[in-house]
Structure 1
Amino acid sequence: MFGKVLGVQNKPRRSIYSLTLWTGLTFFFVAASTYFLSQTRPTVDYFHGREPKSEPSASHQNPLLTNEGIERFALDHGYPRLGESANFTSLRQLCDSTKWQRHVYFTCTHNLGGLMNVRNMVLNCVRYAIAAGASGLVMPQIEARDPTVLKHLKTGEYQKMSYLFDDVWFKKVMKENCGQLKLLDTFEDITNSGYATMPDLINIQALMGQPPGNRQGRLRNKKPWEFRPRFDKLVQSRSQKPSWRTPVIVRLDDKALFSFPPSFDSPELARNFGFILEFRLDLSALSNVIVNRARKTLNDRTGNDPYVGLHLRSEADAGKYWASWDLLANTTISVATKNDIKLIYVASGDTDGVAKLAKKAADLGIKVLNKWSVLYADEKEFLQPFRFDQQAIVDYLALMRSDRFIGSGQSSFSSHLILRRELLASISSSEEKGVEPESTPRDQLVGPGRLGYWDMDWP
């Protein structure tokens, strides 16, 4: 009985054992074969023969979105900037010859508008602080304009200097060449700032006895040599004189935009003073990448492709009587054609205008580029969150290195590019023996000019 019982129970066990054995043998052979093949098969290049991607896709671990990654990027691509070769001897001489006074401080807060307007305001405020012999300067701030409605400039949103500029560079240059003007990070760093005498915002035109105005050069200080005695008189007229207990804190209003004429200073100072401001390093590095790629668009590895730079100032907030899209586009294409240049780099917030220009130029065999068409996906991911005026830094530096430049005559952005490019051209011709400036103008402003605004921009 036990045998029958055992016999009945053995059949299913034999089947189970057999199944287990065959499963084990099968797994062994498959594993062995896989291992053998993996050791003997040739390496396969899965990307061989494929079209290279025009832009690497962004990842969630984009190094440009980390502090370490952007520092590495800036180090790799932030080539020596123009300010590093500037001569600040004249600035040092100015500061050494200035009569400095104690307990008088300047703040540069009301710096607003487009990129070049903000730059000129900051430079003017610093220059007036030196002229006044102020004992200290609170680091400049920037009033950021409305990100959605660009014509709304007075927003009350204040950003640090690093919003647009390299504050580390600014501190270094000023300390080395004008150390008498102490730089303070915040208003609270002024001793007894809570007891300071706070005069109303100072209007330079009123201080100089000039009629107020915003147009035709009326912002210009026509007698800058009289500023110091008038300023000293204003300070001394207050009931509480500057002291350790009651310091004077000076705030210029936003009419200092085109106030201090660079021609008042020596040519050497006028040429170099603007270099105390350099744009933030990360965006400067990104611009270098754009220029290098743009110059390889046609001939790839040579990196010698010339391009015409265009500031297409045709956004919705452009002035009614400014250069039209047609005038800017036609002039640019004409310059490119005459100089046998097949590339146009365009800076503009007018996306429809850029697309229309690209189509028009393509019919003549000319390719149109902008920052978004040149940058890779991870770089776009880095640049996208920046505001309009911050992104303008990238365009400004790319246009500055173009072979020809076309801009709007009423734009401070365009007109300053002309100034800076002329300055760099004159420096190059003077440094290279036997090299004469080009007889044919490299740059052109089209449309109505900035009448009355001569001698007001720091190059």
Structure 2
Amino acid sequence: MIAKDVRERLAIITPLTCAFFLAWSFRLFGFRDAVLEVLTGSSPMTAPPTLVAEASFIQQAMAVEFPAPIDYGPINEVCGRTPFRPGLVFTCEGQHGGIGMLRNQMLKCIRYAIHGGGALVVPSIALRNKNDLKDIETATEMPLEYLLERETFKKHLAAGCPQMQLYDRVEDAPSYSQRQGQPLQLLGDQFEPDHPRTGLRHPRAWRHEFDGWLASRGVQLQRERPVHIQMEQSFLEYPVRDDGDAFVHEFGKILSFRNDTRELAAKVLYALRTRFDLPINPAVAINPNAYYGAHLRLESDAIWAWPPSEWRFSRMHDQFEEQFRNIERTGLRTVYVASGNQTVVRMFAEYLTTKLAGSSSGGDDVRVVTKQDLLSPDDLRRLSAMTFDQQALVDFMVMFKASAFMGVAHSSFPWNVALRRHELSRYAAYANEGSDLLRDEYSIIMGMAKDYPYVDSFVTSIWP
């Protein structure tokens, strides 16, 4: 009887022990090894040490998309003071622009939906015309994952604002087929059209004005007959700091760039480190004494939007000269350039070589590179298959991590980069090291207000 009892217990314990061992082996090694195999094409038992080191570098670099991981606390606080109600659903359809402006437009639309206390449909994107870069408002609508991670967004918003219901399609909202009339279109600044350039004076009064607007249209919110609000795209009118600095630093983190573009950016960083022996730690947001990031805004759509006859820094020479002066000041000799015009990049490299050769610091060793110069043939094919705006995501991530960075004031792209980097600055203000529109120890937005016909309110209206 005793022997039989022992056998029965062993029959139960043995498979449980094996299952426990296998489960923990997977947790300790399986996920890591699976990622390694995806990145290198080899298992950890057969991958050369250099491939293992590269895979580890890429994993770490991909994880550092912001200066610090998301803290849901400030978002929880804002959502917690907002009464949410059923029967109201907001959509942010066909958001358009370059990645800097498009991302901010989405965040602003989501912020209005929080103010309104309604449900939200995952935002969508208007596809840029590949044959005409300035045509950003096409009728071709793309899902969020065209540029951003859908599941990451849903996860972050659910954790940050659990009161808000989120749907993949507006038709998924309960009783949508019984909705009240046609969708109602609304501009964010519709209730305060005379606001100053710095944005709405009374953003927290938006809910009261919105509810009054609904009432004026005879709308009564009912769970069984929902109301669909289509938020139209207004421009830089929301004062992002109204909710406090902590919220400013966290809210933008609900949107994450596509994983494949972050992987390509990490591979660019690895190539910079290995090819030029640069001190780049992938786990650190910004590494000193590594490389310089130059954003050149001289593509065809930029020249069309900001003609050189009126805009000083739309002139190639003036933009080049400001970048040269800053490069000389930093002493950095590896220059990573972000530009959608490769001819401009070549001209800039020649300009730098000539200027630095005639300076006291010398220019023979300056290296001007782009993502196209640093990616492997296979990765370059992946990059080439991407659109203009998808490729820009790679540059954004590499620029974010640069030792020093400079861009122009009339583009939202460099403002997004510089404002995100500013979170690491020891300065609270934006111009403590000089007279440029933004100048801290990490970034410069070149020139003063007098150098531009006008300066959009990027500082007050962009979530980093």
Q: Report how far residue 301 of structure 1 moved.
A: 8.8
Letter of the 2:136 counterpart = L
- For the pair 1:224 / 2:203, whether they are aligned, the reply is yes
Are 1:306 and 1:343, in contact at CA under 8 Å, matched by a contact in 2? yes
Are 2:75 and 2:251, in contact at CA under 8 Å, matched by a contact in 1? yes
Q: Distance in 2 between matches of 1:119 and 1:272?
A: 14
Q: Report how far residue 425 of structure 1 moved.
A: 2.9
Are 1:311 and 1:346, in contact at CA under 8 Å, matched by a contact in 2? yes
1:171 to 145, 148, 154: 154
1:276 to 226, 231, 254: 254
**Which is higher, the Rg of structure 1 or of structure 2?**
1
Q: Report how far residue 76 of structure 1 moved.
A: 8.0
1:353 to 325, 340, 344: 344
- Among all aligned residue pairs of Structure 1 and Structure 2, give the percentage whose two residues are the same amino acid: 26
Q: Which residue is equivalent to 1:233?
A: 212
Q: Report how far residue 77 of structure 1 moved.
A: 6.1
SS state at 2:337 partner:
strand
Q: Which residue is equivalent to 1:306?
A: 290
1:243 to 214, 222, 226: 222
1:271-329 CA deviation, whole Å, 9 max, x = no partner?
A: 21111111111111111111221133333798786211111001112111151221222
Q: Which residue is equivalent to 2:378?
A: 378
Q: Which residue is equivalent to 2:402?
A: 402
The alignment's C-alpha RMSD in Å is 2.8
Listed as ranges, the gaps of 5+ residues in structure 1 are 1-62, 67-71, 429-438
- For the pair 1:457 / 2:457, whether they are aligned, the reply is no
Name whichever of 225-234 and 190-199 sits farther off. 190-199
Alignment of 1:11-50 (within 5 A): none
Q: Which residue is equivalent to 1:204?
A: 188
Q: Report how far residue 234 of structure 1 moved.
A: 1.6
Are 2:175 and 2:226, in contact at CA under 8 Å, matched by a contact in 1? yes
Structure 1 pair 287–386 and aligned structure 2 pair: CA distance change class (3 A): same
Are 1:83 and 1:276, in contact at CA under 8 Å, matched by a contact in 2? no
Q: Which residue is equivalent to 2:414?
A: 414
- For the pair 1:194 / 2:177, whether they are aligned, the reply is yes
Q: Distance in 2 between matches of 1:348 and 1:452?
A: 21
Structure 1 pair 150–400 and aligned structure 2 pair: CA distance change class (3 A): same
Q: Which residue is equivalent to 2:29?
A: none
Letter of the 1:232 counterpart = D
Name whichever of 389-398 and 314-323 sits farther off. 314-323
Letter of the 1:272 counterpart = E
Q: Report how far residue 443 of structure 1 moved.
A: 2.0
Listed as ranges, the gaps of 5+ residues in structure 2 are 1-37, 42-54, 282-286, 355-362, 429-438
Name whichever of 194-203 and 344-353 sits farther off. 194-203
Q: Report how far residue 419 of structure 1 moved.
A: 0.9
Q: Distance in 1 between matches of 2:278 and 2:248?
A: 40
Q: Which residue is equivalent to 2:70?
A: 86
Letter of the 2:395 counterpart = D
Q: Report how far residue 236 of structure 1 moved.
A: 2.4
SS state at 2:252 partner:
helix
Letter of the 1:152 counterpart = D
Structure 1 pair 301–114 and aligned structure 2 pair: CA distance change class (3 A): closer
Structure 1 pair 347–300 and aligned structure 2 pair: CA distance change class (3 A): closer
Q: Which residue is equivalent to 1:392?
A: 392
Q: Report how far residue 150 of structure 1 moved.
A: 0.8
Q: Distance in 1 between matches of 2:456 and 2:203?
A: 17
Letter of the 1:251 counterpart = Q
Q: Distance in 1 between matches of 2:440 and 2:462?
A: 24
Structure 1 pair 137–292 and aligned structure 2 pair: CA distance change class (3 A): same
Structure 1 pair 90–79 and aligned structure 2 pair: CA distance change class (3 A): closer
Q: Distance in 2 between matches of 1:416 and 1:82?
A: 12
Q: Report how far residue 442 of structure 1 moved.
A: 3.3
Structure 1 pair 300–406 and aligned structure 2 pair: CA distance change class (3 A): closer
1:121-172 CA deviation, whole Å, 9 max, x = no partner?
A: 01001111111111x1001001111112011111011111111111111111
- For the pair 1:131 / 2:136, whether they are aligned, the reply is no
Name whichever of 406-415 and 289-298 sits farther off. 289-298
Q: Which residue is equivalent to 1:331?
A: 322
Q: Distance in 1 between matches of 2:398 and 2:64?
A: 15
Are 1:104 and 1:248, in contact at CA under 8 Å, matched by a contact in 2? yes
Are 2:157 and 2:254, in contact at CA under 8 Å, matched by a contact in 1? yes
- For the pair 1:260 / 2:238, whether they are aligned, the reply is yes
Letter of the 2:124 counterpart = Q
TM-score, with normalisation over the residues of structure 1? 0.76
Q: Distance in 1 between matches of 2:64 and 2:423?
A: 18
Q: Distance in 2 between matches of 1:259 and 1:446?
A: 23
Letter of the 1:258 counterpart = L
SS state at 2:185 partner:
coil
- For the pair 1:115 / 2:73, whether they are aligned, the reply is no
Structure 1 pair 407–80 and aligned structure 2 pair: CA distance change class (3 A): closer
Q: Report how far residue 367 of structure 1 moved.
A: 0.8
1:358-391 CA deviation, whole Å, 9 max, x = no partner?
A: 2223342211000100111000111111111111
- For the pair 1:149 / 2:132, whether they are aligned, the reply is yes
- For the pair 1:293 / 2:271, whether they are aligned, the reply is yes
Letter of the 1:455 counterpart = T
Structure 1 pair 440–166 and aligned structure 2 pair: CA distance change class (3 A): closer
Are 2:421 and 2:442, in contact at CA under 8 Å, matched by a contact in 1? no
TM-score, with normalisation over the residues of structure 2? 0.75
Structure 1 pair 417–78 and aligned structure 2 pair: CA distance change class (3 A): closer
Q: Distance in 2 between matches of 1:397 and 1:120?
A: 16
Are 2:294 and 2:335, in contact at CA under 8 Å, matched by a contact in 1? yes
Q: Report how far residue 410 of structure 1 moved.
A: 0.7
Structure 1 pair 440–325 and aligned structure 2 pair: CA distance change class (3 A): same
Letter of the 2:293 counterpart = G
Are 1:106 and 1:251, in contact at CA under 8 Å, matched by a contact in 2? yes
Q: Distance in 1 between matches of 2:203 and 2:258?
A: 31
Structure 1 pair 327–131 and aligned structure 2 pair: CA distance change class (3 A): same
Are 1:344 and 1:368, in contact at CA under 8 Å, matched by a contact in 2? yes
Corresponding pairs, count: 376
Q: Distance in 2 between matches of 1:187 and 1:440?
A: 43
Are 2:261 and 2:393, in contact at CA under 8 Å, matched by a contact in 1? yes
